[in-house]
Amino acid sequence: MLRRARYRHHYIFSHDYNGSMHLHACMLLGFRYGRAMRVVPQIEIASYITHFGHRVTWILPSEENDEFQERPYQKIRLFVIPCRFKTGVMHPLSKALYAVRIVRFVLQNARTENYSLIFVRDGTFNGLLALYIKRRHHIPLVFEMSNPIEQRALIHRTYSRFPHLRAVTGILDRHLTMHILRSADLVLPTTTWMADDFAAKGIEREKMLPYPNGVDLERFSRGAGERIRAEHCLDGQAVFVYVGTMDQERDLTILIRSFARVQRQIASARLLMVGDGTDRGRLEECACDLGVDGGIVFTGRVRPEEIPDYIDAANAGVSIIPPLDVYKLSSPIKMLEYMAMGRPVVANEEIPEQKEAVDASCGGVLVKYDPESIAAGMLRVCEDTVRAGEMGERGRAWVVKNRSYEAMARRLEERYLDLKKESAAFPD
């Protein structure tokens, strides 16, 4: 269907007889295939182009398989690479063995498949491998960065048993990542503000497409909220929900303190804290110290398919994020999921992505990162239920138009095809 040739360092693609262009995207992915695998929205959006007649192939590791396998997954062709990541002193060796396996497979696969482009999300190793494939087989490279470079280093230091070693390897990772970003044909930073940050670091703005989080409307349209309300004895019109991680970096004590102010005004108010993390114990202690532990439900970790149920059980969603530089460049997914479920949101304006979405949609209340301001915003949603309902409707309408999988995949498809058209400007 598509034929690639190289001419003057450009990628050349032939067309179908009907004049349309079709894509075959190879996606090198780092998460592990398995029964409980979690696919993030950006990967699902990038794969959604199969709905438009294009082809998508995933290549990813699996600890549940002992041999190379090809598997169907929805409309996607999937190659599974066996891996066994050991712990302790054997961990580096197991990773090295997996690296050998995937390099061998990808090199052979790239020779036999008719890929239009190769897509990598975040991974430095996969990025370098894809960069080699780009240069050897003249396949355009699309590189997505879901987090700022500085945040990647912070995450590695926070969760590593050897933070000082991670600090050193983080410097190397930063240099290699910048090399991949400079060499990629298309860079997908999560937000416009992250694109600005990359541009300041020397990445060409013309080859960047902001690629924020999106929402699967098939999942986030309805939920079993009544079941959750009954299970946790939630009554009244003042039920708030927070969904997300509860790690110390998030410092969610500010939300607990804000809720304490709300409960002084509305005794029946309730707060659903959905998720888990390293700081959960401290948050529970904070709630107890403030005397609001009876009004807060800490659910612990829940299955992804249950999240719409908890949002459906609430009257409003809260998205309170520390105004640190690494978070200012992020794209909060949970706020969009609240909006997709028709719930008004209370979000702090210091996070640019939140401010833009709420301003554009009129789907919620913007507050400052301050307990008094947050509490005032939560009370505002409670006190005018009609207006809150209108906010929820407007928020959902904005998400459908701007952040649904289909809307975002169409924008990505357009950029992919532009890349091919630019390459085809030099015919054989």
Domain assignment present for 60: yes
- How many other C-beta atoms lie within 10 A of the C-beta of residue 277? 16
Taking the CA atoms of residue 57, residue 210, residue 48 and residue 82 in that order, the dihedral angle to the nearest 10 degrees is: 30
- For 32, which DSSP code? P
H helical segments located in 160-306: 163-183, 192-200, 225-232, 253-265, 280-289
**pLDDT score, position 287:** 97
Same domain (yes/no): 146, 241: no
Same domain (yes/no): 27, 167: yes
Same domain (yes/no): 388, 268: yes
**d(C-alpha 258, C-alpha 271), whole Å:** 11
Identify how many contiguous H helices and E strands the chain contains and give both numbers.
16, 15
Same domain (yes/no): 31, 130: yes
Closest C-alpha to 30, from 121, 158, 97, 96: 121
Domain assignment present for 90: yes
Host domain of residue 344: 225-402
CATH of the domain at 111: 3.40.50.2000
Same domain (yes/no): 394, 414: no
Same domain (yes/no): 56, 23: yes
Same domain (yes/no): 409, 397: no
Same domain (yes/no): 202, 261: no
**pLDDT score, position 9:** 35
Query: What are the angstrom distances between the C-alpha of 403 and each of 97, 229, 328?
Result: 40, 28, 19
**pLDDT score, position 18:** 34
Domain assignment present for 13: yes
**pLDDT score, position 84:** 76
List the pLDDT tens digit at each of the 428 positions of the chain.
333 333 233 333 334 433 467 899 999 999 988 877 889 999 999 999 999 999 999 999 988 877 888 988 889 999 999 887 766 666 678 788 889 999 999 999 999 998 999 999 998 999 999 999 999 998 999 999 988 777 665 655 555 565 666 667 778 888 999 999 999 999 999 999 899 999 999 999 999 999 999 999 999 999 999 999 999 999 877 999 999 999 998 999 999 999 999 999 999 999 999 999 999 999 999 999 999 999 999 999 999 999 999 999 999 999 999 998 878 888 899 999 999 999 999 999 999 999 999 999 999 999 999 999 999 999 999 999 999 999 999 999 999 999 999 999 999 999 999 887 776 554 43
Domain assignment present for 70: yes
Domain assignment present for 113: yes
Query: What are the angstrom distances between the C-alpha of 340 and each of 106, 198, 216, 308, 349?
Result: 38, 30, 9, 10, 19
Same domain (yes/no): 116, 163: yes
Domain assignment present for 220: no
Domain assignment present for 59: yes
Same domain (yes/no): 200, 276: no
Provide the residue type at 160 as one letter. S
**pLDDT score, position 425:** 54
Same domain (yes/no): 347, 393: yes
**pLDDT score, position 154:** 60
* Number of domains present in the structure of the chain: 2
Query: What are the angstrom distances between the C-alpha of 224 and each of 286, 309, 317?
Result: 30, 5, 16
Phi first, then psi, for residue 323 (nearest 5°) are -80, 50
Give CA angle at 204 (145, 147), nearest 5°. Answer: 15
**d(C-alpha 119, C-alpha 133), whole Å:** 11
Same domain (yes/no): 346, 366: yes
Query: What are the angstrom distances between the C-alpha of 413 and each of 50, 286, 340, 405?
Result: 10, 47, 23, 12
Domain assignment present for 428: no
**pLDDT score, position 218:** 93
Closest C-alpha to 45, from 212, 265, 238: 212
Taken in order 328, 333, 335, 340, the sign of the CA dihedral is positive
Tokens of 83: 């891996």
